[in-house]
Chains A and B, each alone.
Chain A
């Protein structure tokens, strides 16, 4: 890992103008080089353009810190778009800064640049006209949608025409079902052209892996097609509720799509109670029960526990109180029980984002699960 972080900024935010932004960046690099002294040159590095959309000014400050960490692993030009349609006075302001990872003695200093654009009032189309020329020629463009809802304005079409990869985090969605449905509808339009990643889905990767491994044994694999009940428990603690609510839906849909279950119906909405779902599998009806529980500890916020009941067999996956360990147990008639303890800790937002920035290719499994979630939550 690199050394400590140093930030460079040039002056106060000014009315956004592409020529002035580029001139500001050049001036900033000169001052960064001077500050570093003759001993260690500054290397300006960029492997991609990262466009970041946030819907609040406070969120922009959070993102600033995250980008500083992201650039350690993925040097890039970051363009942060802070949208505040209600903000006043209306206008578009820009500021430039750099994140430099101070080297240990004898190594080079690597810096990435950030342009922050604050769009107040109805200045969306103007914002896009500034963002487009600021993307780095020839490098891939990633759009990180870091907002509490997924409602992409029509003027983003210009950006989507040049973007290869859109990253969302369904853990941030305030209206989980509605936002996942909006995301599914958006994906239907852009599928094949743009890769979609959901950081919240990435957080479930260790769980999916552990569950899959449980059925690698040929003796236990047939039980996959005899599942009658899936019970998912998640936390009622409010800070993690959105994260886990979305995860519980996506994981239920993941099992259903992988195992070829047909969605039948959802239980009626109960007040503050998660709904259960019914599916039809080759072997009969499958009930998916979602249960809210108060849980000890919290760790990184990745979910719950799962219990799969299948024709007398029981497969359970329980997160330890520190959130870093999962204990699994497989019990099936005529077979000795197998248990194990493995690491389940999901990375933090920066680690997961860094992983996503290095992946390519569509995630069909996620896309299918998302489409099913849209159906499950429609009513």
Chain B
């Protein structure tokens, strides 16, 4: 047998259900931020403890705050214990993991910092056998993206160290731009330095187990796909509700608003997964091609018709979970005259053969009664009703609902006869819950997505054209709202299911929002 480094590891054969990436280092820009401490490092710790990361795997945290490797390791270890609720039993794992954490303190808007980073990475390649494979994670505010990307390129860090043998990838956190123009500009900057196949635009919603299961549900079962079209489906609802307000992100939210924060990315991504055609293979290009086709087929909402298809709202004082909560306009770092939307409801149409005339209702909001994300497919009523009279009042259309959070699972509502001598019909639910059926908690979205990126699987990441298309849809709406100012911004009490205008909006079509 030849003794070359390229030969396949023969011990890997037959070890089931596991994928382990190549030895690599991960560089996190924005290492002193909340995302790093709460999400990224705990996800990496979990992957490491469960043997899903390669030996020698190293993290390099990059930020301006002066810290030593040891201080960074200590802070991250404390975060891991806190956010994963670990007991002292896990100390050995945490200590082992912390040995792979490193820190570079510098001003990452200067070229010198990147030389220092390069030296650190070269040293890790030598000391930890990370083999030149590098993953850069931009967990900074988006305004820093162009500078970091440009300087990575200038320092020679964007290209694979040993082309053909090693890889270099970059993960960009959302929001990817704040308008069509800025997204294109950013994309141009990124792709002038990195090739498109090196760029992973993360949307953590796509890493959720139920979102992935949506593809399995649709394309691994023979019984659903024949009904997945305009002939059987009356309409689709996608709801992403949050109990929380803007918390300490008032300044960010004033700039972003709900449309940029949720709809342009998460909600449109969910829509494209529900509506896409079956891809030829479960590979990144095929899946992302089909998703992009849906985005292209979404009927644009023209500037002058925005009010017909969109409702926007902003929460005022109210009660959530038994506690009084303030109005959006009195939240810290929010303008008292703010016109930023915290709720939006949409009606979209997809102009293709499968979905012609089937409305897709989307809604999302902050300070709603509870945190819940769900896709519900509402089927048409039966063409002729056999059962009449009082007993038939309970007949409701079938609804297939796909719960993304919390309690990830799928349920189907159908009608059944109540036991007895009379014909009484009542809707019942058949439910599949991940937690109950498999008895194991699914991995978190960041665990799934970080591992996918290290493995070079871009299926669950956004491609530039899809980002572009989503901004094309959203831009006219933003423009119209800007022109309208406060006009049309409907207030709703915190803790309610959004403004009355949103209920009126769907009821005009003879439909109702599903009770969540």
Contacts and interface: CB of A to CB of B under 8 A. Distances in A.
A209 B11 CA distance: 8
Interface string A145-164: 00000000000000000000
Contacts of A137: none
B14 A216 contact: no
A282 B127 CA distance: 30
A72 interface: yes
A330 to B, nearest CB: 7
Interface string B369-406: 00000000000000000000000000000000000000
Interface string B1-39: 101111101111111101010110000000000000000
Contact of B56 (A2, A215, A327, A338): A338
B49 interface: yes
A328 B438 contact: no
A378 interface: no
B439 A335 contact: no
Contacts of B9: 212, 215-216, 221, 224
A72 B439 contact: yes
Nearest to B51: A342
Contacts, number: 119
Contacts of A341: 92-93, 95-97
A340 interface: yes
Interface string A324-343: 11011010000110101111
Given A72-B439, A217-B131, A218-B131, A363 B14 contact: yes
Given A216-B22, A225-B3, A338 B129 contact: yes
B131 to A, nearest CB: 6
Contacts of B12: 212, 216
Contact of A364 (B14, B23, B96, B437): B14
B443 interface: no
Nearest to A326: B51
A143 to B, nearest CB: 21
B23 A217 contact: yes
A258 interface: yes
Instruction: Classify the secondary structure of B's interface with A.
Output: loop
B10 A259 contact: yes
A218 B5 contact: yes
A46 to B, nearest CB: 14
Given A336-B128, A342-B96, A212 B11 contact: yes
B189 interface: no
B436 A2 contact: yes
A295 B397 CA distance: 64
A282 B1 contact: yes
Contact of A213 (B13, B20, B100): B20
A224 B10 contact: yes
A331 to B, nearest CB: 12
Nearest to A215: B9
A260 B51 contact: no
Interface string B76-114: 000000000000010011011101100000000000000
Nearest to A363: B14
Given A217-B23, A338-B56, A341-B93, A208 B435 contact: no
B55 interface: yes
Interface string A186-229: 00000000000000000001101111111111111110111000
Contact of B1 (A255, A260, A366): A260
Nearest to A367: B14
Nearest to A260: B1
Interface residues of B, number: 43
A320 B93 CA distance: 11
A359 interface: yes
Given A213-B55, A330-B55, A341-B93, A220 B15 contact: no
Interface in B127-145: 127-129, 131
A336 B10 contact: no
Nearest to A344: B51
Contact of B51 (A213, A219, A225): A213
A343 B128 contact: no
Interface in A335-371: 335-336, 338, 340-343, 354, 359, 363-366
Given A73-B439, A213-B20, A325-B93, A222 B5 contact: yes
A212 B13 CA distance: 9
Interface in B288-342: none
A216 B20 contact: yes
Given A219-B129, A363-B14, A73 B3 contact: no
A311 to B, nearest CB: 10
A217 B54 CA distance: 8
A206 B4 CA distance: 27
B500 interface: no
Nearest to B100: A340
Residue among B5, B18, B55, B436 with the highest chain A CB neighbour number at 10 A: B55
A214 to B, nearest CB: 6
Interface string A161-188: 0000000000000000000000000000
Contacts of B131: 217-219
Contacts of B509: none
A34 to B, nearest CB: 14
B5 A365 contact: no
B418 to A, nearest CB: 12
A205 B16 contact: yes
A365 B48 contact: no
B126 interface: yes
A58 B23 CA distance: 50
Contacts of A340: 48, 55-56, 96, 99-100
A224 B439 CA distance: 38
A88 interface: no
A88 B127 CA distance: 69
B247 interface: no
A208 B126 contact: no
Contact of B16 (A221, A330, A354, A359): A359
A1 interface: yes
B50 interface: yes
A211 B5 contact: no
Residue among A2, A221, A258, A260 with the highest chain B CB neighbour number at 10 A: A221
B1 A225 contact: yes
A2 B437 CA distance: 9
Contact of B15 (A1, A209, A255, A260): A209
Residue among B5, B51, B435 with the highest chain A CB neighbour number at 10 A: B51
Contact of A320 (B7, B92, B128): B92
17 contacts: A1-B436, A72-B439, A208-B15, A209-B15, A213-B20, A213-B51, A213-B55, A216-B22, A219-B5, A220-B129, A221-B5, A222-B3, A226-B3, A328-B55, A338-B56, A341-B92, A341-B96
Given A208-B15, A222-B4, A222-B5, 11 more contacts: A211-B11, A213-B54, A214-B55, A215-B11, A216-B12, A216-B22, A217-B56, A218-B6, A219-B5, A224-B10, A363-B14
The 10 tightest CB contacts between A and B, nearest first, are: A365-B14, A341-B96, A218-B5, A212-B11, A73-B439, A222-B3, A258-B10, A217-B129, A336-B127, A338-B56
